[in-house]
Amino acid sequence: MKNYKIDSLRLESGEQLDNVNIAYQTFGKMNADRSNIVWVFHAISGDTNVLEWWSTFFGVGKLYDPTKHFIICANCIGSPYGSTRPENLDFLRFTVRDQVQAFLQLAESLDIQTIHTLIGGSFGGYQALEFAYGFSGKVSHMILLASSAKESAWGIAIHEAQRMAIRADATFGTQHGGQEGLKAARAVAMLTYRTSEKLDQDQTDNLNQVGDYRASSYINYQGQKFSERFDALSLYYLTWCIDTHQIGRNRGSEIMALQSIHIPTLVIGFKSDLLVPIKSQRYLAQHLPQAELVEVDSIYGHDGFFMEEAKLSHKITKFYRDQKKTLAQREILCRSQKINTQIPI
């Protein structure tokens, strides 16, 4: 893991976050013209090791292969996985845009001016969209999965329910405190990440059972497992950060902001997504000037962007192939027009 230091990060609130560390990992090597850079943005509980948590797409022989691509993934401020994080409730609140400003500075420090693909799912998609708006270099492709132009009232309400669960734990607010509240918060979240159909399919009990239900054990297990690898303060601050997502804030409107992002974009939505419903992806595709929408049937709901390897790999591969074909046709047209203008009348 590598670290990028920022002496002082000016936040949207006008306050300054000092001595900021951004942890990041890179996989593979940049090619000579730096045209093989893939920047990945992680979801709320992710870390920098994208080869591990998104092995669906990333790894040797996968869609994004470190023997062919230069892959970079930076850890969000607030996360317990290497970047600057809260240790008490005196930590400054930060927005998605603040996160991305730190990543833009990281890109500049690495002299990254051309990016092959920006990709992220859920909160990662929020960051990718903000990065696309703020990046001064060239981005050839963007892939947004289960994402939106702004966080919905529904999403904010779900996050507040999680924060209420965390605050109900008397130990919350101290370093490593709030673990019981964190378990409950994760349980709330799990009910929005998957579908009722998937839970019914996997966790239904036998006909004569009373008590000791599989669904109860499952949701407790998920809370316990999460509490062993995450932190209550981190989740508290990161859910608030996600609530701030609004691509149009102080930019005229959402539509104006989206229409200024001229990047060939694949927007992928899941019809069964309860957390970020398919209408949010339809809105993105409607207003991003060069967007294509793919709607996926999935029993997994919001977690489809982790689980649906076969369906998504096919759609993304087709997107790249179509973009390559479109670029080739444009080059032929440009050459043709140049020749025609040189013919004397």
Tokens of 251: 């930019």
Q: Which of 198, 203, 225 is nearest to 216 (CA)?
A: 203
Query: Which phi and psi angles does 150 have, rounded to 5°?
Result: -155, 160
Give the pLDDT of residue 178.
97
User: Does the predicted TM-score (pTM) go above 0.85?
Assistant: yes
Q: What is the CATH number of domain 155-240?
A: 1.10.1740.110
Other C-beta atoms closer than 10 Å to the C-beta of 181 total: 24
Does 136 participate in catalysis according to the annotation? Answer: no
The first and second tokens of residue 164, run together, are: 């209420």
pLDDT of 338 reads 61
Q: Where are the alpha helices (DSSP H) in the chain?
A: 50-53, 96-109, 123-134, 153-167, 179-193, 196-203, 214-227, 232-243, 254-259, 278-287, 304-307, 309-341
**What pLDDT does 101 receive?**
98
Q: Which of 298, 293, 254, 239 is nearest to 274 (CA)?
A: 298
Three-state helix/strand/coil letters over 40-80: EECCCCCCCCHHHHCCCCECCCCCECCCCCEEEEECCCCCC
Q: What is the location of CATH 3.40.50.1820 in the chain? A: 2-151+246-341
pLDDT score of 291: 98
User: How, if at all, do strands 16-27 and 2-10 pair?
Assistant: antiparallel
| Given the residues 98, 243, 273, 303, the one annotated as active site | 273
Structure tokens at 72: 């970079």
- DSSP for residue 277: -
Q: What is the Cα–Cα distance from 163 to 170, expressed in whole angstroms?
A: 13
pLDDT value for 176:
86
Q: What does the DSSP 8-state code read for residue 298?
A: -
List 122, 147, 234, 272, catalytic entry: 122
Q: Can you give the pLDDT at residue 174?
A: 83
Q: Which residue has the tokens 């045209």?
A: 35
pLDDT tens-digit map of 278-300: 999 999 999 999 999 999 999 99
122 is catalytic: yes
- Does an H or E element contain 14, and which? none
Q: Which tens digit of pLDDT belongs to each residue from 36-47?
A: 999 999 999 999
What superfamily would CATH give domain 2-151+246-341?
Alpha/Beta hydrolase fold, catalytic domain (3.40.50.1820)
- What does the alpha-carbon distance between residue 17 and residue 12 come to, in Å, rounded to a whole number? 11
- Per the CB < 8 A criterion, the answer to whether 190 and 45 are in contact is no
Cite the residue boundaries of each domain of the chain with CATH code 1.10.1740.110: 155-240
Q: Which segments in the chain show pLDDT lower than 70? A: 333-334, 336-345
CB 239 within 8 A of CB 144: no
Residue 302 is a catalytic residue: yes
Angle at 306 between CA 305 and CA 309, to 5 degrees: 85
Q: In this predicted structure, what is the pLDDT of residue 340?
A: 56
The active-site residue out of 42, 116, 245, 302 is 302
Cα(88)–Cα(234) distance, integer angstroms: 10
